């Protein structure tokens, strides 16, 4: 007798608003249409922040169901970048300097003391709490609440602007430079505790890097005018490899806590990779607008996509489920591990667990899946 294996895939695009919510698979349109989004960020308390080039900072405290303008105290509403410190302070880069809030956006303070250039293009905060800003005139660094800035441009091309920054878990910082905003003058690395930028002996073609993240295993993942690039180690030599699968209009990159890489591609939606950038899969089920601009992954297990003035969408990261005649194998969408479980079945209802020890009860009706309940796993 043959054993037939049924595969049911819950792409990380199920929607569940609460413990007893029941929603169909796919991205969920939050019915909110911000204009000129520049960036998104998530604080450790789960609050989501969206920066706009023209309308300041907006905040959601309920996973995107509602949004409020929290930038009324900001004189300059042209927000170019956002970052969040480990203790929850929010930093917003503008064309007038850096604003900071320590109360979730209820009040903001402009910090420009020592900031030689007020046009801020990029922000990153290291694991050691140091804040770096990329400006039209190099890099500046501060600690704590950005009370004072000092230039940190030694080793960078003089007069160059810094359009993107990224830091890794060890405290190293990467900077992308350009003299005209189009062509690259190189990628530079500041080692933790260092005071001089070292030029990397590799870089993606001639175009300036406009965004990057640091994957713990792969290293830098960067976007340029020509598309997405990942680092490949060829016989001990680091080289850039362009990712042909995702197209050339890459607008954003986001990295989940467990290592899945998400990219927003203009007119092609979202792509994801669970093997550190080696292979990529379209991730668009339910995404009715594919012109994705900004992306962010929240600590509560959601990914958010802003679709270039056409709305914000939300989708949780939930398990993949493989059902066989004997057992249920559960694999989270990041593909990090496979867990064999006994199956608790009643009709078309299954119990599953993901790597974060979230317990799911899934109801299947035909080819659609519904989250009936999500709770923390309790082990006695």
- CATH number for the domain that contains residue 264: 2.130.10.10
Residue 349, pLDDT score: 52
Residue 300, pLDDT score: 77
Whether residues 17 and 90 share a domain: the answer is no
**DSSP secondary structure string, 153-209?**
-TTSPTT-EEEEEEE-TTS-EEEEEESSSSB--EEEEE-TT--S-EE-S--SSSBPP
What span, in angstroms and rounded, lies between the C-alpha atoms of 182 and 289? 28
Assess whether pLDDT exceeds 90 at residue 182: no
Whether residues 150 and 62 share a domain: the answer is yes
Whether residues 180 and 35 share a domain: the answer is yes
Write out the H or E segment, with its range, that includes residue 34. Answer: none
Assess whether pLDDT exceeds 50 at residue 251: yes
Give me 160's structure tokens. Answer: 């160059």
Whether residues 84 and 136 share a domain: the answer is yes
Neighbours of 13 (CB within 10 A): 23
Q: Name the residue among 7, 8, 28, 11 with its Cα closest to residue 335.
A: 11
Whether residues 291 and 326 share a domain: the answer is no
pLDDT, averaged across the chain: 78
Q: Name the residue among 247, 212, 203, 206 with its Cα closest to residue 227.
A: 247
- The CA distances from residue 3 to 190, 227, 323, 347, 366, in Å, are 56, 44, 11, 20, 21
Whether residues 151 and 174 share a domain: the answer is yes
pLDDT, one tens digit per residue, over 39-91 is 999 998 889 999 999 999 999 999 999 999 999 889 988 999 999 998 889 99
* 12 contact partners, CB below 8 Å, separation of at least 6: 260, 272, 283, 303, 315, 316, 317, 318, 333
More confident residue, 247 or 228: 228
Range of the domain at 204: 28-309
Q: What are phi and psi of 82, to 5 degrees?
A: -135, 145
Burial of 99 per CB tally in 10 Å (0-12, 13-18, 19+): buried
Number of domains making up the chain:
2
What percent of the chain has pLDDT above 90? 47
How many residues in total does the chain contain? 380
CB of 353 closer than 8 Å to CB of 359 = yes
What span, in angstroms and rounded, lies between the C-alpha atoms of 186 and 152? 16
The alpha carbon of 211 is separated from its chain's Cα centroid by a whole number of angstroms, namely 11
What span, in angstroms and rounded, lies between the C-alpha atoms of 377 and 194? 44
Give me 229's structure tokens. Answer: 């690039």
Assess whether pLDDT exceeds 90 at residue 262: yes
Whether residues 296 and 375 share a domain: the answer is no
Averaged pLDDT, 121-132? 93
Whether residues 340 and 271 share a domain: the answer is no
Whether residues 197 and 237 share a domain: the answer is yes
CB of 126 closer than 8 Å to CB of 112 = no
Helices (H), the chain: none
DSSP 3-state of 379: coil
Whether residues 118 and 256 share a domain: the answer is yes
Q: Which stretch of 26-30, 122-126, 320-324 has the lowest confidence by average pLDDT?
A: 320-324
Neighbours of 351 (CB within 10 A): 17
Decide which of 287, 309, 331 is a domain's last residue: 309
Whether residues 323 and 187 share a domain: the answer is no
Whether residues 15 and 94 share a domain: the answer is no
pTM of the model: 0.78
Q: Which stretch of 14-23, 60-69, 260-269 has the lowest confidence by average pLDDT?
A: 14-23
Residue 84, pLDDT score: 93
pLDDT, one tens digit per residue, over 134-179 is 999 999 999 877 789 999 999 999 999 999 999 998 999 999 999 8
pLDDT band at 206 (very low <50, low <70, confident <90, very high): confident
Residue 235, pLDDT score: 62
**DSSP secondary structure string, 270-286?**
EEEESSTTSS-EE--TT
Neighbours of 146 (CB within 10 A): 26
What span, in angstroms and rounded, lies between the C-alpha atoms of 192 and 126? 9
Decide which of 309, 338, 356 is a domain's last residue: 309
More confident residue, 204 or 145: 145
What span, in angstroms and rounded, lies between the C-alpha atoms of 302 and 316? 4
Residue 213, pLDDT score: 93
Assess whether pLDDT exceeds 80 at residue 37: yes
Decide which of 283, 309, 335 is a domain's last residue: 309
Averaged pLDDT, 124-143? 93
């Amino acid at each position: 007798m043959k054993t037939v294996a049924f595969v049911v895939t819950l792409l990380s695009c199920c929607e569940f608003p609460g413990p007893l919510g029941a929603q169909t698979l796919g991205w969920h349109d939050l019915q909110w249409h911000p204009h000129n989004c520049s960036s998104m960020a998530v604080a450790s308390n789960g609050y989501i922040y969206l920066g706009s080039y023209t309308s300041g900072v907006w905040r959601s405290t309920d996973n995107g169901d509602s949004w409020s303008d929290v930038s009324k105290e900001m004189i300059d509403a042209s927000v170019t970048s956002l970052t969040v410190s480990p203790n929850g302070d929010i930093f917003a880069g503008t064309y007038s300097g850096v604003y900071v809030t320590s109360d979730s956006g209820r009040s903001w303070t402009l910090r420009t003391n020592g900031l030689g250039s007020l046009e801020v293009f990029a922000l990153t905060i290291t694991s050691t709490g140091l804040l770096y800003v990329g400006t039209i005139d190099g890099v500046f660094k501060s600690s704590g609440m950005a009370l004072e800035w000092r230039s940190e441009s030694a080793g960078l091309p003089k007069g160059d602007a810094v359009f993107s920054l990224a830091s890794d878990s060890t405290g190293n910082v990467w900077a992308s430079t350009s003299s005209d905003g189009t062509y690259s003058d190189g990628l530079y690395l500041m080692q933790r505790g260092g005071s001089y930028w070292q030029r990397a002996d590799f870089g993606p073609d001639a175009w300036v890097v406009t965004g990057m993240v640091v994957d713990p295993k792969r290293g830098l993942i960067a976007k340029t005018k020509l598309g997405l690039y990942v680092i490949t180690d060829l016989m001990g030599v680091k080289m850039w490899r362009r990712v042909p699968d995702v197209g050339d209009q890459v607008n954003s990159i986001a990295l989940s806590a467990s290592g899945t890489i998400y990219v927003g591609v203009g007119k092609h939606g979202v792509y994801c990779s669970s093997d550190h950038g080696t292979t990529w899969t379209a991730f668009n089920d339910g995404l009715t607008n594919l012109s994705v601009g900004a992306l962010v992954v929240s600590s509560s297990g959601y990914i958010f996509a802003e679709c270039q003035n056409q709305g914000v969408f939300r989708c949780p990261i939930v398990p993949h489920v493989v059902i066989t005649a004997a057992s249920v194998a559960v694999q989270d969408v990041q593909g990090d591990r496979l867990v064999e479980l006994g199956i608790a079945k009643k009709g078309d209802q299954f119990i599953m667990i993901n790597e974060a020890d979230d317990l799911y009860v899934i109801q299947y009706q035909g080819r659609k899946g519904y989250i009936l309940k999500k709770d923390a796993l309790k082990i006695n």
